[in-house]
């Protein structure tokens, strides 16, 4: 039975295989130099993709048309809010984190309100929300102190035996997310809604609440990501979340979650995030120019999604 | 038949099977030139299937289609159009985002080149004027802005417009269902004029008066066969109802003696939205309540309003006491979750009970599935197999298991036996009886009159309203049919 379940959810294996192959190729290119450091760096950066990717996964699993495009703006605003509230003092770290979470949650709630009250398709709602958030960030972030407290910056860089502490905590978080997805009423509701929203309603599922919770969760995770990114990169920045627009969706899909909804996969997000981060590292190592690097990244993502999507329909 | 030599359309020995279900069991059907045929029959008698075959949308399993004296080999929608067979089906087929003239163009390839819009507008405008004087419809009106009745008028008028293709036979399936009495009269008068000028019409209606007054000949279908066919003058209302299946002596299911059940507390009290008088549906604890009438006359709407009212208290006209579950009839759109196993599909309604702490217990979930596999007899080697690995009947059993395995006290059933084999049906009937005896309340919408025998009380629906309430003792198929088909437009 478990063997069958595993068979059914194999697509995520490939993202890990891909990540491994890229790592081997890079290590072969450098003649075995820097392999360990590369993994440490990849884990550090993958964490940020995994966190928002998990939120995005729950949203996408709600079914066709559901996606949160406001993540980059959300991350940017939350990073500024977190750094402002922390105000460079170690004693205010917890307060700043809470503020970032609350800011992200508020964005999520606003997204759902647009979708629910105005009946706007989620793509449009979250995209327009993202412009509003972005404007707020410009008005709010101007001329403010945005450096993290030293304690917070250090915390985001702690390593245990070469493994970043953040990565360990994120692994724990994804285990909980996987449990929530497969073994809790919330996750089952998300999966059911994604397969057939009408059937889910008729089966007694609280559709409205589940969708609300999902957009709020995704927003909250965006807020958390903003705070952590500001700590890791030593400062908040309005553009700090920009790359997470494409990558949060890419890691979900490459990781074996169905774009059509109703079928999700948490481990695959890790594999796909490592794959994307290592891919960038590899292209850097090869000394490819920035333009070619972007081009190749785009092509590879499209290729992988096309291949993964093909398997899914079987 | 007598008209055979000059028949425009002649269907000979037509059969249609959907899997094991035989929708048409060898039907002979002929339409003469200048004839209006009234086609009647109860739900599932095969009227629609027969008309779909004539329209070319369904291919017959066996039999011949002869049109204009020529046997058709590769009959299709396009071929039907070329030969002058037009149809107006109940589900309106206008494109809501286009205007009236543009919708007319959809059916007329020849309206092309500069000024086609104007010509289309003139064509449909003239026909509307002819059939429905003072119709108040402009050719520029977007269809979605029109009322249902006006849409039906456009639909009908469009079917009678002529450009380069002939117009021989028009199938009108419930053409007056959304029209008021006056426009309905205009349409029927036009049908008579059309027929007198040599056209042919097949008229399907649940208003027996309409059929009796306007048809030259009436064909009664029943169980996929032609049960009677004769000049309209040979029929009256009673004879029609009898031919549709009402007069047959009825053997009541013997189980459940007619012992007067003592009435428990009220579980559901509901009034259809269109109900104008004070009639309401009342269901007590342990009762099986039937919702009867022709398909699509408000039964499903009532079930959904009861279901929707369960969560939020005090919705208008609906009172629900107790947890509720629904067994969908349309499995694919309303019921199953295709990516899930059978046991996940059964457990979804009972997640709260399956928890241990905050997590859903896999063991309890498997136990629930196994219990119902035994009780309801789902035929599968492993309940962890995908739900789609089951046959339709077994998928339906899984949906019953979902509802009956839950904590629901009230079970709504939305014509759940559609396309289910007889073996499954008998098993489920037993189960419903047991569960009702144990105190559960069932609201059962069914299009199969036989199933009403299992009900304590039956409400017959017509046009979104309850038109009759029949207690167990007074229930006969004839009464149900009688109430389902009214004499004239309301």
Distance CA B463, CA B180 (A): 13
Q: How many CB atoms lie within 10 A of CB A284?
A: 12
- How high is the mean pLDDT of chain B? 84
How far A6 CA lies from chain B's nearest CA (Å)? 13
Partner-chain contact B340 A195, CB within 8 Å:
yes
Reported as a single tens digit per residue, the pLDDT across B18-73 is 766 678 888 999 999 899 999 988 766 788 889 989 998 888 989 999 988 888 88
* Per-residue pLDDT band at B470 (split at 50, 70, 90): confident
pLDDT at B47 (0 to 100): 85
Query: Terminus-to-terminus CA distance in chain A, angstroms?
Result: 20
At B102 the pLDDT is: 92
CA atoms of A163 and A169, how far apart (whole Å): 11
Residue B156 near residue B130, CB atoms below 8 Å:
no
pLDDT per residue as tens digits for the range B67-123: 888 888 889 988 998 889 998 876 678 888 999 999 999 888 888 888 898 999 999
**Which domains occur in chain A, in start order?**
10-308 (1.10.3470)
- The CA distance from B455 to B467, in Å, is 17
Tell me if B360 and A188 make a contact (CB, 8 A cut-off). yes
Per-residue pLDDT, B192: 93
Task: Note the pLDDT tens digit of each residue in B444-464.
Answer: 998 777 788 888 899 998 888
Query: In the prediction, which pLDDT does B28 show?
Result: 92
Which of A184, A195, A204 has its CB closest to that of B337? A195
Partner-chain contact B333 A199, CB within 8 Å: yes
* Nearest chain B residue to A3, by CA: B384
Chain B residue numbers touching A195 (CB-CB < 8 A) = 337-340
Query: Which residue, among B330, B345, B346, B360, would best test binding to A if mutated, counting the most A CBs under 10 Å from its CB?
Result: B360
Vertex A208, ends A206 and A214: CA angle to 5°?
100
pLDDT tens across B200-243, in order? 999 988 778 888 889 999 999 888 888 888 888 888 888 888 88
Host H or E run for residue A148? none
pLDDT, tens digit, 9 for 90 and up, residues A134-189: 899 888 876 565 788 988 888 988 888 888 999 999 999 999 999 999 999 999 99
Q: Give the chain A residue whose CA is nearest to the CA of B334.
A: A199
3-state secondary structure of A89: coil
Residues 180-219 of A with CB under 8 A from B: 183-185, 188, 191-192, 195-196, 198-200, 202-205
Q: What pLDDT is recorded for position A189?
A: 95
**For position B367, what pLDDT does the model report?**
92
**Considering only CB atoms, which chain A residues are within 8 Å of B349?**
203-204
Q: Which contiguous run of DSSP H or E holds residue A68?
A: none
| Chain B residues with CB-CB distance to A263 below 8 A | 339
Query: Which residue of chain A comes nearest to B328, CA vs CA?
Result: A202
Model-level pTM greater than 0.80? no
User: What whole-number distance in Å separates Cα of residue B297 and Cα of residue B465?
Assistant: 8
Who's near B322: CB < 8 A, 6+ residues apart?
B267, B408, B409, B410, B441
> Which chain A residues have a beta carbon less than 8 Å from that of B359?
179, 183-184
Nearest to A188 among B326, B348, B402 (CB): B348
Return the percentage of chain B with pLDDT > 90, whole number: 27
Phi, psi (5° rounding) for residue A88?
75, 5
Instruction: Give the Cα separation of A120 and A117 in Å (integer).
Output: 8
- How many Å lie between the alpha carbon of A247 and the closest alpha carbon of chain B? 26
ipTM for the complex? 0.84
* Cβ contact B325–A1 (<8 Å): no
pLDDT tier for residue A126 given thresholds of 50, 70 and 90 = very high
Taking CB atoms within 8 Å and a gap of at least 24, the contacts of B154-157 are B154/B94, B154/B100, B154/B103, B154/B124, B154/B128, B155/B88, B155/B92, B155/B93, B155/B94, B156/B88, B156/B131, B156/B187, B157/B124, B157/B127, B157/B128, B157/B131, B157/B132
């Amino acid at each position: 039975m478990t063997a069958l379940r595993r068979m059914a959810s194999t697509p995520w294996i490939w993202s890990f295989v891909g990540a491994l192959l890229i790592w081997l190729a890079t290590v072969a290119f450098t003649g075995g130099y820097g392999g360990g450091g590369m993994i440490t760096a990849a884990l550090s950066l993958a964490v940020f993709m995994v966190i928002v990717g998990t939120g995005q996964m729950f949203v996408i699993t709600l079914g066709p048309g559901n996606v949160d495009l406001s993540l980059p703006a959300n991350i940017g605003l939350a990073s500024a809010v977190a750094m402002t509230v922390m105000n460079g003092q170690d004693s205010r770290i917890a307060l700043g984190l809470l503020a970032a979470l609350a800011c992200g949650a508020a964005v999520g709630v606003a997204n759902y309100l647009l979708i629910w009250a105005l009946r706007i398709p989620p793509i449009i709602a979250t995209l327009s929300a993202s412009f509003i958030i972005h404007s707020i960030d410009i008005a709010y972030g101007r001329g403010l102190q945005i450096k993290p407290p030293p304690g917070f910056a250090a915390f985001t860089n702690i390593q245990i035996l070469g493994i970043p502490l953040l990565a360990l905590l994120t692994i724990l978080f994804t285990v909980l997310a996987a449990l929530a997805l497969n073994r809790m009423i919330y996750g089952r509701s998300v999966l059911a809604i994604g397969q057939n929203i009408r059937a889910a309603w008729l089966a007694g599922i609280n559709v409205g609440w589940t969708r609300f919770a999902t957009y709020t969760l995704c927003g909250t995770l965006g807020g958390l990501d903003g705070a952590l990114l500001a700590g890791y990169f030593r400062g908040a920045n309005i553009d700090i979340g920009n790359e997470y627009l494409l990558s949060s969706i890419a890691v979900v899909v490459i990781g074996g979650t169905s774009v059509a909804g109703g079928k999700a996969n948490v481990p695959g997000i890790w594999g796909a995030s490592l794959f994307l981060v290592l891919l960038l590292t590899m292209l850097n190592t090869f000394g490819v120019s920035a333009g070619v690097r972007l081009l190749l990244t785009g092509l590879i993502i499209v290729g992988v999604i096309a291949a993964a999507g093909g398997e899914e329909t079987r | 038949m007598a008209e055979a030599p000059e028949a425009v359309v002649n269907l000979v020995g037509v059969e249609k099977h959907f899997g094991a279900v035989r929708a048409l069991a060898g039907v002979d059907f002929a339409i003469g030139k200048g004839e209006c045929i009234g086609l009647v029959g109860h739900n599932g008698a095969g009227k629609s299937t027969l008309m779909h075959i004539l329209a070319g949308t369904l291919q017959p399993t066996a039999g011949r289609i002869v049109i204009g004296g020529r046997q058709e080999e590769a009959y299709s929608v396009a071929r039907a159009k070329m030969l002058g067979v037009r149809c107006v089906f109940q589900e309106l087929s206008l494109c809501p985002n286009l205007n009236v003239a543009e919708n007319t163009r959809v059916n007329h390839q020849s309206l092309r080149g500069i000024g086609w819009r104007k010509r289309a507008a003139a064509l449909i405008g003239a026909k509307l004027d002819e059939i429905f004087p003072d119709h108040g419809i402009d050719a520029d009106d977007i269809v979605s802005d029109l009322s249902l009745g006006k849409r039906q008028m456009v639909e009908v008028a469009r079917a009678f417009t002529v450009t380069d293709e002939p117009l021989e036979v028009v199938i009108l399936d419930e053409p007056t269902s959304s029209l008021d009495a006056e426009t309905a009269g205009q349409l029927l008068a036009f049908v008579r004029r059309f027929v007198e000028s040599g056209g042919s019409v097949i008229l399907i209606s649940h208003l027996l008066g309409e059929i009796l007054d306007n048809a030259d000949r009436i064909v009664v279908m029943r169980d996929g066969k032609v049960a009677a066919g004769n000049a309209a003058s040979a029929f009256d209302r009673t004879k029609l109802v009898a031919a549709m299946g009402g007069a047959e002596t009825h053997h009541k299911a013997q189980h459940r003696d007619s012992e007067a059940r003592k009435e428990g507390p009220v579980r559901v009290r509901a009034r259809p939205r269109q109900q104008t008088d004070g009639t309401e549906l009342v269901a007590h604890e342990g009762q099986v309540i039937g919702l009867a009438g022709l398909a699509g006359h408000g039964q499903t709407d009532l079930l959904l309003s009861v279901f929707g009212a369960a969560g939020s208290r005090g919705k208008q006209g609906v009172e629900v006491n107790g947890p509720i579950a629904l067994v969908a009839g349309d499995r694919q759109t309303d019921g199953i979750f295709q990516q899930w196993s059978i046991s996940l599909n059964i457990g979804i309604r009972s997640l709260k009970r399956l928890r241990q702490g905050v997590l859903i217990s896999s063991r309890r979930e498997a136990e629930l599935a196994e219990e119902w596999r035994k009780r309801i007899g789902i035929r599968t080697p492993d309940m962890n197999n995908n739900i789609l690995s089951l046959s339709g009947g077994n998928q339906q059993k899984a949906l019953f298991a979902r509802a009956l395995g839950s904590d629901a006290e009230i079970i709504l059933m939305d014509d759940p036996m559609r396309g289910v084999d007889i073996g499954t049906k008998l098993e489920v009937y037993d189960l419903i009886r047991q569960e009702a005896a144990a105190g559960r309340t069932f609201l059962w919408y069914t299009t199969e009159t036989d199933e009403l025998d299992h009900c304590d009380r039956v409400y017959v629906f017509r046009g979104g309203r309850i038109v009759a309430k029949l207690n167990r003792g007074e229930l006969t198929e004839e009464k149900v049919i009688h109430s389902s088909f009214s004499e004239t437009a309301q």
